[in-house]
Structure 1
Amino acid sequence: MSSKEDLINAFNKSASDKEIGEKRTNDDIKEFQEQVRGLINTMVEWLEGTPVKIERSESIINDVTTAPKTYSIESVVLSNDNKRITFSPTALYLMGSRGEVEIKYTGINRNLKCNLYMRDSIGSASEPGVWSLVDGNDRRNNRRPFTQDVFYELVTRIA
């Protein structure tokens, strides 16, 4: 094989690798969108029969971890009077995790910070399909599976 053929093959491989990477990213974005939608559907089911007001919305997020940099994804606000919890997807690719949903409280006395991760490989890695909750600033030592009971603990803060 000549040097020119080697050069052409290198460019072809580079283009192929780029296409594979773009497809993988698009597939990951689609999975993130579906997992967030499923998470919100589950939360809505768990809240049936409660006085919590549920506001779902679709928004465009600017995600610096992906190309394309923007895509649409669902979010939800749970409220009781002037107290609210907002679940907002923020990024797909993170160090040690994939698929971040930020949890913000408003209208309560304490400023609480929590995040959910679709796939978590820090500490005891999460099972597929089970979101991990990271509560507070101790990200390494304060992780647990996001279950119905854990969800109710979060929602109790707006009672």
Structure 2
Amino acid sequence: MSAKSQFFQKLEATRQPPPPAKNKGQADIAAFRLQMEKMYENIQQWLEGSDLSIKSRDIPIVELLLGNSSFSVTEITVILDNRSLNFTPLYLYGQGVTGCTEVSLTLEGQQSALYRLFMGSGNAVGWTYAQMNTLDSKERAFDEESFFGMLNHLIP
């Protein structure tokens, strides 16, 4: 076998998908991580060419329903001048939803919760969101259009 063939065979072996999760909890954690990473990539694409900054960092979450297990998930922050819109993972399981992320506005050190995003909710496919502190808390699909609606909070 040539060195080239050996190299590509080794490379392919390293790119094998990870072994399947041992249980539903591990599978949901992996899905939450992956979906937050995809959201970060989408937001990067949506903001391409703008002067807004985007940052990400891993934050710890403790899931009580998984025996107080701790895992990390990506938090996303979009910054315009002294204001930021934060997408902060809160919990994995709660009240009929999987993967809850809070969207909040930070201005002059004060943080205000605006929306809740849900990775899985009822029969919905893909991310949905509901506005916080309103009588109309109907869930809607989260997409590029709704993202820019949320982003409007950054403009004074």
Cα pair distance change 1:86/1:64, threshold 3 Å: same
Please list every run of at least 4 consecutive aligned residues from structure 1 whose deviation after the TM superposition is greater than 4 angstroms: none
1:139, distance to aligned residue in structure 2 (A): 7.6
**Secondary structure of 2:66's aligned partner:** coil
Q: What letter is aligned with 1:152?
A: F
Match of 1:64 in 2: 64
CA distance in 1, matches of 2:104, 2:137: 20
1:49, distance to aligned residue in structure 2 (A): 1.0
CA RMSD of aligned residues (A): 2.4
Match of 2:48 in 1: 48
Match of 1:18 in 2: none
Match of 1:116 in 2: 117
CA distance in 1, matches of 2:32, 2:140: 20
CA distance in 2, matches of 1:138, 1:23: 37
CA distance in 2, matches of 1:107, 1:147: 24
Task: Tell me if structure 2 keeps the 8 A contact 1:113–1:136.
Answer: yes
Task: Figure out how many residues of one structure are paired with residues of the other and give that number.
Answer: 134
Task: Give unpaired runs (5+ residues) of structure 1.
Answer: 1-21
Normalising by structure 1, what TM-score? 0.75
Match of 2:143 in 1: 147
Percent identity, please.
21
Answer with 1 or 2: which has the greater Rg: 1
Task: Give unpaired runs (5+ residues) of structure 2.
Answer: 1-21
Match of 2:129 in 1: 133
Deviations 1:22-49 (CA, angstroms, capped at 9, x unpaired): 6221111111111111111111111111
Normalising by structure 2, what TM-score? 0.76
Q: What letter is aligned with 1:28?
A: D
Which of 139-148 and 78-87 deviates more?
A: 139-148
Task: Tell me if structure 1 keeps the 8 A contact 2:104–2:111.
Answer: no
CA distance in 1, matches of 2:121, 2:136: 11
Q: What letter is aligned with 1:143?
A: E
Match of 1:78 in 2: 78
Cα pair distance change 1:55/1:141, threshold 3 Å: closer
